Chain A
Amino acid sequence: MSSFLSQEVPLSWYLLLSAALFSLGVVGFLIKRNLITVFMSIELMLNGVNLSFVTFAHQWHAVKGQIFVFFVMMVAAAEAAVGLAIIIAVFRARATLAVDRIDLMKL
């Protein structure tokens, strides 16, 4: 049981997972055609970066890395609120969410 509990995971695995999540977010940003899903891909990228912040905070025993993640979460919440309000405004003006058809800045 003690050997079972003492198993350890290299921190590079966490960083690789973080890089994979970020890349999947970029791919989603490029291939998705729905405005809301594109926005979700951005959240995925933010989460990937957060994981690497927490990993490095663990590596260096630094609390400030975790506090930075906290600030990223707050900014992401503000961004989601404003972004989704913009999406609602765009949908009201255009009646579509397809990014191919939203190609003018003017509403």
Chain B
Amino acid sequence: MHLILFLVFAGFCLGGAINLLIQSHPINSALSLIVVMVSLAVLYLLLGAEFLAAAQVIVYAGAIMVLFTFVVMLLNAGREARTLGSRAARSIGFPAVVAILAVIATVILHAQGLGVARLSDGITSTEELSTVLFTKLLLPFEVTSVLILIAILGAVALARHDDTDPRANEERTGK
């Protein structure tokens, strides 16, 4: 059962990632990325991370991807122009990617002591995770909330209309 679930959702994952690269319209790429993220949530569940599976669906597939599709539609992004990329990307980038993948795969395949995952392994409960998060790692957690606050302020400051922009002022006084 574990094997079948892994193969099916790993296939969805890779298929979605490849589709993200093939599609030329950003909205199709965004939908492929949602497929990848939901499949990853299932894989997290197979590895016993129940809280992360839920957070993956809510935060990534929910919040972040909604933001992406919203921006794609807001900016009315059309098909991207097909180019072959820069010469640097072609001549250095792709051989480097292949080399990195080969090195990582070699290391993983030769690693000793890597275990196996079974459905009967049991899951890390949310209670167990939150006990560590809210006792030993409380300070990093609080710092994260400050980071989120700064990100909200930064996003608002960056995305709002400039006050010196005459069109924006016209809109405001028109109302």
- B33 proximity list for chain A (CB < 8 A): 40, 43-44
Q: Are A8 and B49 in contact (CB under 8 A)?
A: no
Instruction: Classify chain A: how many residues form its interface, as a range.
Output: 35 or more
The answer, yes or no, to whether A36 is at the interface (CB within 8 Å) is yes
- Report chain B residues within 8 Å CB of A7: 1-4, 118
Do A84 and B36 form a contact, CB below 8 Å, given A9-B6, A10-B116? no
Q: Is the interface of A mostly helix, strand, loop or mixed?
A: helix
| Chain B: number of interface residues, binned into ranges | 35 or more
B174 close to chain A: CB less than 8 A = no
In the complex, number of A-B residue pairs with CB atoms less than 8 Å apart: 239
Docked CA distance A59–B46 (Å):
13
**For residues 82 through 135 of chain B, which have their beta carbon under 8 Å from a beta carbon of chain A?**
82-83, 85, 89, 93-94, 97, 100-101, 104-105, 108-109, 111, 114-121, 124, 128-129, 132-133
Majority secondary structure, B binding face: helix
Nearest-neighbor residue (CB-CB) of A41 within chain B: B20
Given contacts A57-B49, A84-B68, contact A74 B114 (CB under 8 A): no
Q: How far is the CA of A80 from the CA of B71 in the complex (A)?
A: 11
Q: Which residues from A are CB-within-8-Å of B151?
A: 77-79, 81-82
Would you give the shortest CB distance from A21 to chain B, in whole angstroms? 6
B117 touches A30 (CB 8 A): no
Rounded to whole angstroms, the CA-CA distance of A47 and B43 in the bound complex is: 12
Measured CB to CB, the nearest residue on chain B to A5 is B1
User: A69 CA to B151 CA in the complex, in Å?
Assistant: 19
Contact (Cβ within 8 A) A19 B132:
no
- Shortest Cβ distance from B5 into A: residue: A9
Task: Give 8 new A-B contacts, CB below 8 A, not counting A27-B97, A31-B21, A84-B68.
Answer: A11-B116, A34-B77, A34-B80, A44-B36, A47-B60, A54-B52, A66-B124, A81-B155
Query: Which A residues are closer than 8 A to B by beta carbons?
Result: 4-17, 19-28, 30-34, 36-37, 39-41, 43-44, 47, 50-51, 54-55, 57-59, 63-64, 66-67, 69-71, 73-82, 84-89, 91, 97-98, 100
